[in-house]
């Protein structure tokens, strides 16, 4: 457990104060949803944002146990460290976890593998099928408005139609801190308690609360190969190709997603302080640095959200 | 004023929520882009994307507006359709900016952005001066009682940084603002395109002695108002773990909406009327002696009174009003107009009740900024007064005295859509 635990770090007064304000806002949002919805679920990828989201949810209901399950939409292209982290956390905290495995949908023909092998866009169908199967009515996600231009337009409590679709032109106005989650049968809401957080805020919060995160967020030696200007990890799902050379480098991950399209950055930051300093000095966004799927087009995220993506 | 120097107040003051408003082509997106750019909040890959998009549209110099126009339709039409939230920070403050579109038909977005804002930046094109949209935006900011308003007279470079032009717009704007009751107005001459007086002082405005826009945003007081108001604690949910460690725990979870709550305080729960004493303020980090506006906490009471979701805890000497009739102002946000006789839901704090709109009492003319006779209907984007009868009582404050507990939503009971932003009127 020590490998993933970090000691809380002292932050400056300014940072402490606004991070505390963001925490209170997120806890308020989570409590509103717990009170008003019948069947919430928390999307948990094992990434840092979902780790923070889970920590906030536990705080929101403390000392009561978490009154809803977690859902992991599993592309099958996983970092073993992340799955180990997920399973340990679920066991330690006595949580309920649903896993929707993309592989199951491919195996029974509901989905077809894409020619490029990437599975990130394939997550939408298993997500929506699982929401329908369990009648989940509120889906907590760790999405942040600073991640993408389409996400910048997203509400904190955001209505989805029966197909999980997001219609940016039909969004409800969201006023004061009054969240209107009313929906009709078949509709559900996505809830984004971290809407107003930035990547740096997330790291400040992880440092301040000593939140455990997977070890791959810290610098480690890894066999990687270069593709599209990113360092991808070698794995059975698509790399390296014949002309791509494997190198051993000291790297860490800024985001954790589908391993086939999530790149590592060269880094020697092995403590939370060093990671904080690195993120604060970075001149490139985490998605730009590490997500191949978001480089597809100007509106890649908007298009995926319209189809029901997180 | 000891309350203002303690931690809870500092906590809110290092975060400033602001909004922007301007009419089409005032350069609002450019100003927002400039603020982000000059605070190093735009990273190189985002800049590269803007550069590609600028060239794809035949542009030459970097079009900062493309940073903020996030939706495909917005980029295609070159307009902003929906509120976009932006984040930037300086060593002293973090800013949450609600960037609102300027089109007339999107007044509802301005209302959305202004509802949480402590400061509004209103843009005016130096060449055009105040236009009807400026008056409308100012009226909306005044209606929602945004405490601080900044006039940014933009495109000063296109009027040769002419002081009399700036002063003329400033005095007209200040006059309109004071007639609407806006408490704090300041004006700054800027060129968003070139960055003059946004984050760095302009070399062209030696006659201007005031702060740059960013200096003002860093210095403006924030968060004090809520702490100074009477204490209100809307109960969100009751936490009853019933675990071996906590067999009898019964905590009222919520966020202090205004004022300060302390252990030992006598409280009354409204509308039910039950009374008790605070014996603990609980957090996952341990007990706290006091909590202030904005903090999410769990309250432990001496007695098991009826204080579930929908109740508001207050000090008995400063209670909210318990009402079954609301005299309110509404900003109508729906396509279908509001008429007397409408059956709706009212969501106030943590309570939602059925309601009947019995009468429309007036309408604010956004051209003259004067109230008119009672209308037969309230149309999309109109602001007007209404009498609302409630099926169950609500514990409310006047919006004029407490921005945080005097607001409500009007909701369509059939499809759940948000129909109006509501402001509780003064006590009769």
CA B93, CA B15: separation in Å to the nearest integer?
A: 6
β-strands B94-99, B84-89 pairing: antiparallel
Which residues of chain B form CATH 2.40.30.10? 229-314, 321-424
Confidence of residue A271 (pLDDT cuts 50, 70, 90): very high
pLDDT of residue B10: 32
Contacts of B82 in chain A (CB under 8 A): 153, 168-169, 171
Query: Which residue on chain B is closest to A67 by alpha carbon?
Result: B241
pLDDT score recorded for residue B7: 32
**The pLDDT of residue A25:** 96
| pLDDT-wise least confident of A14-23, A37-46, B299-308, B392-401 | A14-23
pLDDT per position as a tens digit, B94-130: 999 988 776 656 677 888 889 999 999 999 999 999 9
- A76: CB partners within 8 A, 6+ apart: A101, A102, A103, A119, A237
**What is the predicted pLDDT for the residue at B11?**
34
Protein fold of B229-314: Elongation Factor Tu (Ef-tu); domain 3 (2.40.30)
Query: Which chain B residue has the Cα nearest residue A35?
Result: B237
Determine whether domain B2-225 maps to CATH 3.40.50.300. Answer: yes
> What is the chain A residue with the closest CA to B285?
A59
Outline where A99-218 has alpha helix (H): 102-107, 124-134, 199-209
Please report, in tens digits, the pLDDT of each residue of chain B (428 residues total). Answer: 233 233 333 333 588 999 998 877 778 888 988 888 888 777 666 777 777 777 777 776 667 666 666 556 665 555 556 788 888 888 889 999 988 776 656 677 888 889 999 999 999 999 999 988 888 889 889 989 999 999 999 999 999 999 999 999 999 999 999 988 888 899 999 999 999 999 999 999 999 999 999 999 999 987 766 788 899 999 999 999 999 999 999 999 999 999 999 999 999 999 999 999 999 999 999 999 999 999 999 999 999 998 999 999 999 999 999 999 999 999 999 999 999 999 999 999 999 999 999 999 999 887 777 778 889 999 998 899 999 999 999 999 999 988 889 999 999 999 999 999 999 998 86
Q: Structural domains in chain A?
A: 13-200+298-306 (3.40.50.620), 215-294 (no CATH)
CA within 13 Å, CB half, B264: 3
| Residues B152, B156: Cα–Cα separation, whole Å | 10
Which pairing describes strands B290-292 and B260-262: parallel, antiparallel, or unpaired? antiparallel
Q: Is the pLDDT of residue A37 over 50?
A: yes
How far is A157 from A136, CA to CA, in rounded Å?
15
Whether B71 and A153 lie within 8 Å, measured CB to CB: yes
Share of chain A above pLDDT 90, in %: 47
Burial A283-308 (b: 16+ CB within 10 A, else e): ebbbbbbbbbbbeeebbbbbebbbeb
Min mean pLDDT across A4-8, A68-72, A211-215, B359-363 is at A4-8
Report chain B's C-alpha Rg in angstroms.
23
Average pLDDT score over residue span A179-194: 93
Q: What is the pLDDT of residue B80?
A: 56
ipTM of the complex: 0.90
Q: Do A284 and B115 touch (CB under 8 A)?
A: no
pLDDT at B325: 96
pLDDT of residue A76 exceeding 50: yes
Q: Is B216 on the interface with A (CB under 8 A)?
A: no
Q: Report the distance separating Cα A98 and Cα A100, nearest Å.
A: 7
Quick one: pLDDT at residue B6?
Answer: 31
Give backbone dihedrals phi and psi of B91, rounded to 5 degrees, phi first.
Answer: -60, -20
Q: Quick check: A11 pLDDT over 60? A: no
DSSP A97: E
> Is the bond into A63 cis (omega within 30 degrees of 0)?
yes
Distance CA B293, CA B257 (A): 5
The two tokens of residue B129 are 């001066």
pTM to 2 decimal places: 0.91
- Interchain CB distance below 8 Å, A288 and B45: yes
CB contact under 8 A, A28 and B236: yes
Evaluate if residue A296 carries a pLDDT over 80.
no
- What's residue B103's pLDDT? 65
In 3D, which of B61, B64, B59 has the Cα closest to residue B27? B64
H or E segment at B88? Answer: strand B84-89
DSSP reduced 3-state for B179: helix
Rg of chain A in Å (alpha carbons): 19
SS3 content of chain A, % helix, strand, coil (to 5): 40, 15, 45
Confidence tier at A292 by pLDDT (50, 70, 90): low
d(CA A269, CA A255): 15
CATH superfamily membership of B321-424:
Translation factors (2.40.30.10)
A209 touches chain B (CB under 8 A): no
Three-state DSSP class for B33?
Answer: helix
Range in A126-135, A301-310, B134-143, B338-347 the model is least confident about: A301-310
Nearest to A64 among B73, B94, B240 (CB): B240
**Mean of all residue pLDDT scores within chain A:** 85
Torsion angle (degrees, nearest 10) of CA A302, B15, B88, A217: -70
Give the H or E element holding residue B17.
strand B15-21
Residues of A in contact with B295 (CB under 8 A): 20, 24
CA dist B144 and B226 (Å) reads 15
CA angle (A172 as vertex; A285, A186 as ends), nearest 5: 95
Residues B422 and B408 sit within 8 Å (Cβ to Cβ):
yes
Whether the CB of A227 is below 8 Å from some CB of chain B: the reply is: no
Question: CA dihedral defined by B13, B226, B186, B82, rounded to 10 degrees?
Answer: 90
Position B12 scores a pLDDT of 35
Probe site for chain B from A173, A181, A302, A305 (most B CB atoms < 10 A): A173
Cβ neighbours of A225 (radius 10 Å) = 18
Q: Per-residue pLDDT tens for B207-252?
A: 999 999 999 999 998 776 678 889 999 999 999 999 999 999 999 9
Count of alpha carbons within 13 Å of A85, Cβ hemisphere only? 25
């Amino acid at each position: 457990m020590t490998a993933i635990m970090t000691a809380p770090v002292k932050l400056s007064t300014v940072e402490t104060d606004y991070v505390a304000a963001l925490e209170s806002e997120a806890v308020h949002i989570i409590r509103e949803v717990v009170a008003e919805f019948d069947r919430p679920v928390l999307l948990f990828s094992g990434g840092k944002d979902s780790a923070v989201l889970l920590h906030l949810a536990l705080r929101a209901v403390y000392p009561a146990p978490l009154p809803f399950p977690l859902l992991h939409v599993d592309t099958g292209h996983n970092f073993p460290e992340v799955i180990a982290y997920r399973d340990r956390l679920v066991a330690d905290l006595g949580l309920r976890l649903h896993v929707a495995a993309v592989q199951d949908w491919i195996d029974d023909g509901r989905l077809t593998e894409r020619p490029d092998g990437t599975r990130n866009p394939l997550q939408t169908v298993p997500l929506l099928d699982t929401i329908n199967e369990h009648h989940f009515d509120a889906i907590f996600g760790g999405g942040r408005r600073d991640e993408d231009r389409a996400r910048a337009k997203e509400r904190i409590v955001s209505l989805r139609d029966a197909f999980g679709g997001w219609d940016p032109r039909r969004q409800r106005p969201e006023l004061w801190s009054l969240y209107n989650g009313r929906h009709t049968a078949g509709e559900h809401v996505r809830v984004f308690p971290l809407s107003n957080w930035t990547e740096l805020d997330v790291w400040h919060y992880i440092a301040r609360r000593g939140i455990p995160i997977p070890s791959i967020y810290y610098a480690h030696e890894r066999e990687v190969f270069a593709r599209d200007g990113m360092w991808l990890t070698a794995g059975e799902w698509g790399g390296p190709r014949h002309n791509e050379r494997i190198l051993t480098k000291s790297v860490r991950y800024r985001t954790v997603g589908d391993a086939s399209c999530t790149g590592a950055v060269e880094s020697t930051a092995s403590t939370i302080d060093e990671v904080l300093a690195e993120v604060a000095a970075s001149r490139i966004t985490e998605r730009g640095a590490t997500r191949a799927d978001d480089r597809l087009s100007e509106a890649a995220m908007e298009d995926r959200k319209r189809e029901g993506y997180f | 004023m000891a309350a203002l120097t303690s931690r809870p107040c500092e906590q809110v003051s290092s975060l400033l929520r602001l909004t922007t408003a301007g009419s089409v082509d005032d350069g609002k997106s450019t100003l927002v882009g400039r603020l982000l750019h000059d605070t190093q909040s735009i990273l190189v890959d985002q800049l590269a994307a803007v550069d590609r998009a600028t060239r794809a549209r035949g542009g030459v110099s970097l079009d900062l507006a493309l940073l903020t126009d996030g939706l495909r339709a917005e980029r295609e039409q070159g307009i902003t359709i929906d509120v976009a939230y932006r984040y930037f920070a300086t060593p002293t403050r973090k800013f949450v900016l609600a960037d609102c579109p300027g089109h007339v038909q999107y007044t509802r977005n301005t209302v959305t952005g202004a509802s949480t804002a402590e400061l509004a930046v209103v843009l005016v094109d130096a060449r055009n001066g105040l236009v009807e949209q400026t008056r409308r935006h100012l009226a909306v900011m005044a209606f929602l009682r945004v405490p601080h308003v900044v006039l940014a007279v933009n495109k000063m470079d296109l009027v040769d940084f002419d002081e009399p032009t700036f002063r003329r717009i400033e005095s007209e704007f200040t006059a309109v603002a004071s007639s609407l009751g806006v408490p704090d107005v300041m004006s700054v001459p800027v060129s968003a395109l070139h960055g003059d007086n946004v984050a760095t002082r302009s070399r062209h405005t030696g006659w201007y002695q005031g702060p740059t826009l960013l200096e003002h945003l860093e210095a403006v007081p924030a968060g004090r108002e809520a702490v100074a108001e009477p204490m209100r604690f809307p109960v969100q949910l009751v936490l009853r773990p019933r675990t071996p460690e906590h067999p009898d725990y019964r905590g009222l979870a919520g966020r202090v909406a205004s004022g300060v709550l302390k252990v030992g305080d006598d409280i009354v729960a409204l509308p039910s009327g039950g009374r008790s004493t605070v014996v603990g303020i609980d957090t996952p980090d341990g007990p706290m002696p006091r909590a202030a506006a904005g903090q999410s906490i769990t309250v432990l009471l001496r007695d098991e009174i009826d204080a579930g979701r929908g109740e508001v805890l207050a000090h008995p000497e400063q209670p909210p009003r318990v009402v079954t009739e609301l005299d309110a102002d509404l900003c109508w946000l729906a396509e279908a107009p509001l008429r007397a006789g409408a059956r709706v839901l009212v969501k106030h704090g943590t309570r939602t009740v059925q309601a009947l709109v019995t009468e429309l009492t007036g309408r604010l003319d956004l051209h003259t900024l004067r109230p008119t006779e009672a209308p037969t209907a309230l149309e999309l984007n109109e602001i007007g007064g209404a009498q609302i009868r409630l099926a169950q009582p609500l514990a409310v404050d006047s919006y004029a005295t407490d921005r945080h507990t005097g607001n409500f939503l009007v909701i369509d009971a059939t499809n759940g859509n948000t129909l109006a932003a509501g402001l509780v009127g003064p006590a009769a």
